[in-house]
Every structure is written in structure tokens, then in C-alpha cells.
Structure 1
Amino acid sequence: MVADFLRDARADREWIVTTRRDIHRHPELGFDLERTAALVERELQRLGIETRRAAVTGVVGRLRGDRPGPVVALRADMDGLELDDRKAVPYASAFPGRMHACGHDAHTAMLLGAARLLARRRHLLAGEVRFLFQPAEEGDGGALPMIGEGALTDPDVDAVFGLHVAPEFAPGTIGLSRGKLHAASDLFDLVLSGRTSHGAKPHLGIDALAVGAQVLSALQQIVSRQTDPLDPIVVTVGTFHGGTRRNIIAGRAEMTGIIRTVDAARRVWARQKVREVAEGVASALGARAELRFTEGYPCLVNDGELARYVETVASDLLGDGAVRIMEKPTMGVDDFAYFVENRPGVLVMLGTGDGEKETCHPLHSDLFDIDEAALPMGAALLARIAADFAGRRPASEVREKP
């Protein structure tokens, strides 16, 4: 069975690669994924997998086995990023300002590949495999609306798994965390109000740009001087805008940024410190700070028992030494966190980086690409995780088919 999954996935390589390149060439953003969703629906329906929409352009597929068993969900995100694709490849984005720079095209193609593998083995499956093709991971968050529209219920999903490409690992290897994998995210918007005056008479105004420069500098000291160096916290100011003319003292400046933490108490502390610093520095310099926080994705915590299960499956499938245990969380985020808040689950980091093939550029780079040799491995791993899941559950926990 192990060899069959990998052998069949490699036989499907051309189809998976072609599908990935098609999606890569036609990136869509947020919830506006009609072309991608239609492609997913068409391919699932060809396999005899029933589909429905959720969260506008999300697609939920259901493959029911011939025997009673648990329900296991497999998730792929589908949206791209607002970025110009600078790669010199035939499948580069056909749309300026839109690009698959985080591998969601690969995630979608691999999950469709897994669906092909599982559909051929329908007669061997127990329970149900639910395929979750999710919109809007990049910012808006498509996981919560999919959950709200029943993606994990009727009947209840017992466990949920997903893959994310990882250019820091080579093809044939995976990164696996047995606990915290990704940070929680908070977004902040800061408006600094001063007073305009002539640029030649700065003493008559309150320079919001100068105040902002001091606020920005002080915010960096939250991490560098008020946080234990071993305590992972990130405070980043990503935009800073203000002023109208070179000879006018700016009366207003705006900043936006993010906070990343991996501990609930430190998450609260970091938000409080950002507020204290912004308001305190602005007040000391005669300006006013208005700060608004938007709560982002929670910390993504893999289920320890299921992570060990994935480790066993991946080692069987890809060979000894294929699994790299990730001892520390990354400061990235992923709204797969909402799925594992609701059900036990694991997000696996799939190696896709090869320096000779120019596929080691980081996520969100305008040169990002993957080593496509990893695609059949990812499809086979997802299929094996789902197919084997029923066999590891005690008979008393196996539900009857509805």
C-alpha cells in the first residue's frame, strides 16, 4: 500500500504539475477565486466526489468510503498575493500585481492529486474523507467562514490535516512540529495628529512625521530592550505615511504594523506595550496617538498525538530521515489555526527548496517557485494520512455511515 500511493502519485506527476502551473499562471485573490474554485469543482466531480460551496468560493468535497469509519479532513488554501511575478518561466503569472508567492497553487494541486489517489481506492476506505479547498488565507481569513458554514460538521470531522510548502527544506523531507508551529498575529493602525505650519517655522507646528519617527524607534525597543531574548515576539511597522508638501510641517502621519507572539499572556502584554509606547511618546512631544488593533489569526498548535502519527506515515512513505522535527515555532501565521482550534489536527511543512533549481527563495518573494518533484510526494502523503486514519481508531470510536 505504501509503495502504491507513491508510485501512483508519481504516475500522476504530469497531471499534478500541469494543474499547479495552470493555477499559478492564473492567480486570484482573497474570496474572488471563481476560476480556481470552478477548476476544483470540475476535477472533484469527475472523480465522483460530491461538492458544495462554502465561504463564497470555498469548495467542500466529500468522498465516502464503503465501510463505517471516522471523518478526516484535508485542507488546501487557494488564494494568491498582491505581488508582481518576476520569474522567467513559461507559467509565470499572466496578471500584473497578482502572484502565487506562498505555494497555495501547489497546495491546491496536491490536494486534487490526493483526491485522485483516494477516489481510486474508494472501495478500501472507511468513513469519509472531506476535502477543504479554502479561500482568503492571505489576510481576510477564509477558514472561519468555512467552519461557520459547516465544513467540519454533519457529520463531525474527527481530525484535520494540511500541507504547506517550505523552501527551507529539500524535496523528500518534511518539517513537523509536535506542538506550536506558527505565531498568533495582531494588526495595528496608528494615526498621529500634530499641527501643520510653514516648513520654515517648525516651532509653530507639531511635526507628526518627526513624532512618528520617534514612535517607530521606540516601538523597536519593546522587543530589543523589554523582552527576554529567548521569548519570541515580533513588532513590525510596515507602512509609514504623512505630509503633503516639502515645505509644510506634517499635521498627520499614519502607520500600520503587526505583532507576532506564541503565548496568550505575552500577546496581551505586547498589545499593551505598543499602546503605551505610541501614546506616551506622542503625548510627550505634543501630539496625539489613536491606535486601533485588529485581532489576527491565533497561534497554530499541532496536536501532539496526531503529529506522531504523521511522523510514522511520512517515514514509511518517504523513508528514514525524511522527517525533521521543528523544536521551535516560526513567527509566520496561517489560519489553519482555526481548524485545529476546532478539531485535533496537524499542518505539515513540505520541503520544496532546491538551490540549483532556484526554488529556495522565501515565501512572499516575487521570485518564489517550488521544486515540482515535491508535488507527487505531497499528494501521496495527504492520501496516505487520510487512508490510514480509520485503521488507527478503536472500533468503539468508529461511527456508522449516515
Structure 2
Amino acid sequence: MTPSALPLGDPAPADGILPAQAAVGAAGRKFSLYAHIPFCAVRCGYCDFNTYTATELGGGASQDAYAQTAVREVEFAARALAASGLPERKLSTVFFGGGTPTLLAPGDLTAILGAAVEHWGLEEGAEVTTEANPDSVTRESLQELARGGFTRVSFGMQSAVPHVLKVLDRTHSPERVPQAVEWAREAGLQVSLDLIYGTPGESMADWETSMRTALSYGPDHVSAYSLIVEEGTKLAAQIRRGQVPNIDDDDHAAKYELADALFQEAGLSWYEVSNWARTPDDACRHNLAYWRGDDWWGIGPGAHSHVGGVRWWNVKHPTAYANRLENGESPAAGRETLDGATRAMERIMLTSRLSEGLPLDTLGPAARKAVAGLIAGELVDPAKAFHGTLVLTLKGRLLGDAVTRALLD
């Protein structure tokens, strides 16, 4: 998903050419594509992402024309990367997020994917994912996506409890999820389920019900995210008016601990703080590309990109986005070139979230000295630290920000 608020940054050139830094070491980095599909049937009350319902679009933007516009950005990206001196690299992962990508016709999604494959190709065994709401797919649409090259689907289940789904403004019924999972399995797709915990009014029993229900469907992968109340959302206004209770950090921590216990009991292992997979091959390789600092181009309004320490983000509104590309111009609203210190800081922040851990020999002297205190505080696995890698304990995962601060101070 793409956040609705864009950061400040430097102007981005209309031709999309990247600074020379972007090409340094590129041959040794993986390359991925993110495709943002900014459409939703209904805006969920907790969502702060750059999405639009049909009635919010206006101004000439339309779902029907979106695939053609996205293909234009694929073509623009291929030209810009080549002109910037980037080596030819096949895509290791492709991820369609939103919004609800499956509100577009399967043929539109496969057309965007096909354009990407035409320009860059896919690595052998590449991962190609789409997010989907359970009520936005059919048996036939999932089969068409699989035939078109998709390998994985991530369903936004969020909860199995009707009153929790109601607070979140989710449109599907709990009964729809197992049907969608079954159809995805029939099509030969890997299945991930997304859950949210800490919704106002959700009891511990509700959360356990949601997890046990999700696990009963035999997913390859589960993501469990704590609810964050974003300013400007419907949910934030409801909490401010006292219509629903506020979220509670202790409640979130207890629910995370239960999640880790139940997922491990079911044979899923954590590989990132909010993600569990049945086997290492079931981990979401696209998200791992983000956490490992690889390169990706994000297409779509508001989408973010990163290549070799150069980061940029597109204009937010679909109409402005389409107009830029129609004129042959970059849709980027701004960009920044990260210096070495910032890249090192981000590597610590992101890599420390992974179960594979952060190599201690990549840390500076002050950060290495801080590791002893983190071990004493039971935030870091002592045995793995002794063998040269910083890996968070369960307590460390709950207090990940404190670990990062200690390493960066």
C-alpha cells in the first residue's frame, strides 16, 4: 500500500534520469516492481493510504483507463533506467498493491504485468503477487491471473469476527474467505492472509478466533499488523468523539505474543516482525526486497521507488499522474538522494526486523558496544550475537524501536 501523505524532497527531473549513484553496485542488487492500484469499492475507516472510490475520482481519471496509464509508466521506467546507466536486470518480484488491485479486470492486471515482463523479463521462479479482498475475486478471475503469470495472492482477511470487521468498515463476510482461499488453491496460487489486531472493541477471544480461523484455512503465509490510528481517518474521528474506545499498547503486546505462539504452534515461523511463513520459500520475497534495501520501481499515483540510495515518489492523484505520463513526463513529485550515513541508519532499522538478523561486523564501534546492553535486557538473542548476528527475541520484537534507538545513539 502507498501512504497518502507525500514527503518533502528535491524536485524530480521530467525525464526521470537518476544520479550516477543509482548505478553503483546495481548488478549485485535484486530488482523488483511495485504496481499501486489506487481503487477501492469502499474506503475503510482506518485506512490512510492513497486510494479512491469511484465517486472520489472525477477529473477524467477512471478505472477502465488505468491499466493503459500504468503500462505507460512501465515503458517510461524502462527508458529512464537504461538512460541512467543501470544494467539490464530481470525482475525478481512483482507486487500489485492498493487499494484493491482485483477491482480491475484480470486482463488489466495481466496487461500491466505483461508490459513489465516484455521490458525486463522475470527471473526463474520469480514471485508475482496481488493483494485482494475476498469479495473482489471469483474462481474464474483467480484462474485468469494464474494463467497470466501471477504466483501468489494476499487476501485482506483482517478478522473473522463480524463486529470487528464492522468497526474496520470491511465489506466481506467471514464466510467468503475460505471460499476465496479454495479458489486460489485450485488456480495453483500461493496464499497469504493479512490480519489486523487491536481494533477498538476486539477482545482477546475475538483475536484468538480470527487467528485460529485463518490457520484452519492452511495459509502459506500470515501477516499480522497492529492497528495504527492515523489522523484524518474516520476511525480517528470516532475515537476522538468517544464513539469507540482508543487502542491500547499493552493490549497490542499481549495480542502479538499470542499470535507468535499460535502461529508457531501451527508450523509457521516469523521471518520479519509482522510476518510468519510455513517455510523459507513461503516468505514474501517482495517485502524482503524492501527490508534488504534492494532496488524497486513503484508505478502508480503516490507510489514510492528506490534505486541505489535514490528514492522518489509519484504525484498522488490519478488524474495528475495520468496527465504527466500522457505528456511523456515523469510522474514523480519529488525525490531524495540518501547519503552514506542515512543508508547505514536505514539498513539497521530494516535489517534488524528480520529473523536472519543484522551482521554485527556491519555496525560501528558504538553500536557494537550497545549490543551487550540489549542482550542484558533480553532484547537480543545472546547465542546468535555470540556467533556474529543480532537477532531479536520475542521481547525485542515488541520493543523494536528501543533496539533501533540503542544501536543508533
Tell me if both proteins adopt one fold, taking TM over 0.5 as the criterion.
no
Structure scoring higher RCO (CA < 8 A, sep ≥ 6) equals: 1
* TM bucket normalised to smaller: under 0.3
TM-score normalised according to structure 2 size: 0.27
TM-score (norm 1): 0.28
